[in-house]
Structure 1
C-alpha cells in the first residue's frame, strides 16, 4: 500500500500540482534572481479548501521535490515575539508553512499572533524563501493578507470529483486489479461531498479487497453523514 503523501503527490488534479510545482521550479531557477531585479525575491501561495483536500500534502511534496526544509508554524500557539523571532532566524532557501491563517485577525486574543505581526513577517519573507499559507475558509481571511504583493498565487483545493474518486481507487489497489471496479465505486460516491483524505482512509480500511470496498462504501457514507449531523466530522 502506498503511503498517503505519495498518493496525494500522484493524485492532484489535471492542473493544480503541475502548475504549482512549475511555478516553484521557475522561482528557484538559478537565473530567477536576475529577473526579480529590484523587487523582493520571494514567492507566496495561498492554498484554500476543505480539510483533507491535499493542501498540506502538496506542501510536503513541493519541499521534497526541490530538497527544501519545511518550517511549519501553528499560528494559534505563537505570540508576536515568537513569530518575529522565528522568521528572523529562518535559512535562505526553505518552505515556510503557515496553516489556518484565518485564525489571525484584527481581534486575535492576547497571547496569540496579531494581524499586525503576521503582516509584518509576510512582508519580510527573505530572499529565496517560499511561503505557503493554508486556510479552510478563505472568506474569513483578512483582506489585508490577501492583497497583491502578499499572496502571489491563490489555489483552491476541492472535494473529490468522479475522476479523483476513481483515481484514488486505482492508486489504492493497483490499476490492473481494481480497474473493473473503479468506475463502479466512483458511481456510488457522489461528487464534491467527500474529501480525498476521507475516501483514502476508507479505502485503506478495506485494502484487502477492492470488491469489499465497493460493497461497504454505502454504509461508510451513511456513517460519515450521520457523524456530520452530530458535528463530529
Structure 2
C-alpha cells in the first residue's frame, strides 16, 4: 500500500503532465488558428465528425452535428421569398449529368429553365463550406386530401458550426443572386395610359396601375452599339447611367431623391426615341410613356405618376408641344382665378420632378424630348430637373459607319465611303433619312449610290438657300427652259420666289411669328 507521500508525489506528477499537455494544446490551437485557413479546418472538422459518428454511433446511437432549415413555398397566405429565390438560384448549380430533371417554359419566357425533381439533392459550396439542398414534394393523401393542395419545400442541411454564416451570409447571397437573375431574364414593359389590355406577367403584379396604366412587352431590338450617334456622347451617356444606378447610398447621404433627368433635343429623325429604347434595354427599366395633352389637372397628374414602379423611365415626348409647359407666367397670373388642382400647370409638373413628391420612389429616370429647346421654360431645364442635356444632332461620318454596318453589313471600307462622308460633313441630314435610303436595296452598291444622290440633292438645295436674292432669280431663269413655258408663268414664279424670301426673312427676325399658347 502506497504511503501518503507517494500518493502526493504521483498526484503532483499527473498534474504537471496535464498542465504540460494543456499548454501544448493551447499552443497547437493558436498555431492552427493562425496558419490553417478556415475552409481547411472546416473540412477536417467535418471529416472527424463523420468518423466520430460512424465509430461511436454503433454504441451510443447517432450523434448529429448537422442542422436542417426548412424553406416552405408558402409563408402564411403569401409566397415565401426565400423559396422563390432558391428555386431560381438552384438552376445555376444543377448537375448537367443528372439522370432526372424538370423542364419548364411559360409563354412569356424566352428560354427553357431546368429545376429539381421530387426528392432530388444538390450540393452547393460557399466559402469552402458544403451545403445540401433537397426538394420535397408532399402530395395530398387520397380522399382525405381532396381539399388540400400539394406541399412543396426545400431542406437546406449544413454543419451546425456554420449556422451564423448560412443564415446571415449565404441566404442573403441566394436572395441577391436570384434577384439579379430575375432582372436579367425579365421582359422590359412599355406602359401607356388607358391601355385596353395588359400584358403584364410579372410575379409581383407589375405596375401599381390602378386602372391608369396598361402595358405591352417592349421588344425593341436597339442597343447602344446600334445607335448612329457621336461615340464620345454615347460613352458619356453610358457612364452617367452606370454611375446613377450604383449610387443609391450616395444619393441618400447627400439628401437627394434617387432619380435622374435627361433632356433629349434636336431635329426630327435624329434618334431620340431610339436612345430611350436603348437606355431601357441597357438598364432593364420599364418605360412609362405619358402624353401631357391627356392630363387635365395637377391632381390627376399626381395620381398617374404615383402609379409607376421603381426602376422605371418616365418619358414625356415633344414637351414643347404642350402649351401649359412653357408659359409659367400664365400660371402665376391666373392663380387667383383657378385652383392649381383643377388644371395642369408647369408648377405641378415641377413639383413632382424635384419637389416633395419626387421622393415617392427610387431609381427612376425622367426623360423629356423636344425639337425646340429654346421654347421651353428655363425652370424646366435647370440641374436637378434635367440633369443632362443631350443634343441629338444630324448624322456624322461616324454615325454613318454604324448605319452602314447595321443595314448593309459593311464593316470595311467601300469605294463610295469617302464621297458620302464628305457630303455628310457639308449638309444637314438625319440618320433616319439615310437609313430609309439604305433599306431601299439589298445590293450594297445600289443602296450607297442612292445615298450619294440624296446627299448631292441636299447639297444643291443648301447652295440655293445660301444665294442672295438676285442670284436666286438668275438661277431660276437659267434652270427654267423657255420651251413650253410662257413669260407670264416665269414672272409669276419669280414673284413667288421673292415673296417666299421675304417671308423667311420676316420669320427669322421674329416678325409675324405665331405666338404659342
Shorter-chain TM-score above 0.5: yes
Residue number in structure 2 paired with 1:35: 250
What's the counterpart of residue 121 of structure 1? 352
C-alpha separation in 1, matches of 2:411 and 2:384: 47
- Within-5 A mapping of 1:127-146: 127-146=362-381
Point out which structure has higher relative CO (alpha carbons under 8 A, 6+ apart): 1
Deviation at residue 69 of structure 1 after TM alignment: 0.4
Task: Measure, in 1, the Cα distance between the counterparts of 2:222 and 2:411.
Answer: 22
In the other structure, the counterpart of 2:109 is none
Alignment partner of 1:155: what SS?
Answer: strand
SS at match of 2:414: helix
Whether 2:330 is the aligned partner of 1:96: answer no
Of residues 432, 444, 451 in structure 2, which corresponds to 1:217?
451
5+ residue gaps, structure 2, are 1-219, 332-337, 462-499, 501-517
Note the 1:62-101 alignment, pairs <5 A: 62-80=279-297, 81-101=299-319
Please say which structure displays the higher CA radius of gyration: 2
**Distance change in 2, residues 1:188/1:214 (3 Å):** farther
Per-residue deviation, 1:219: 4.6
Q: Specify whether residues 131 and 156 from structure 1 end up closer, same or farther in structure 2 by C-alpha distance, changes over 3 A only.
A: same
Output one character per residue of 1:107-165: Cα deviation in whole Å (capped at 9) or x when no partner.
Answer: 59x99842122212222333211111111111011111112221111111110123322
Alpha-carbon RMSD? 3.1
Q: Which runs of 4+ in 1 moved over 6 A?
A: none
TM-score (norm 2): 0.39
- Is the contact between residue 50 and residue 136 of structure 1 (CA under 8 Å) also seen in structure 2? yes
1:184 — aligned with what?
419
Equivalent residue of 2:385, what SS? Answer: coil
Shift of 1:168: 1.8
Q: CA deviation at 1:52?
A: 1.4
Q: Using a 3 Å threshold, how does the CA distance of structure 1 residues 7 and 59 change in structure 2: closer, same or farther?
A: closer
Aligned positions, number: 222
For residues 438 and 425 of structure 2, the distance between their equivalents in structure 1, rounded to whole angstroms, comes to 16
User: What does 1:3-42 correspond to in 2, within 5 Å?
Assistant: 5-6=222-223, 9-29=226-246, 32-36=247-251, 37=253, 38-42=255-259
Q: What is the deviation of 1:6? A: 4.8
2:265–2:370 contact (8 Å) kept in structure 1: yes
Normalised by the size of structure 1, how large is the TM-score?
0.81
Give the Cα–Cα distance (whole angstroms) in 2 for the partners of residues 26 and 176 of structure 1. Answer: 31
The Cα offsets for residues 198-229 of structure 1, whole Å up to 9 and x where unpaired, read as: 111111123x1121123323554549x6xxxx
Alpha-carbon distance between aligned partners in 2 of 1:191 and 1:83, rounded to the nearest angstrom: 45
Residue 53 of structure 1: aligned partner: 270
Q: Structure 1's 176 and 116: CA in aligned 2 closer, same or farther, altered over 3 A? A: closer
The verdict on how the C-alpha distance between 1:113 and 1:183 changes in structure 2, with shifts beyond 3 A counting, is: farther
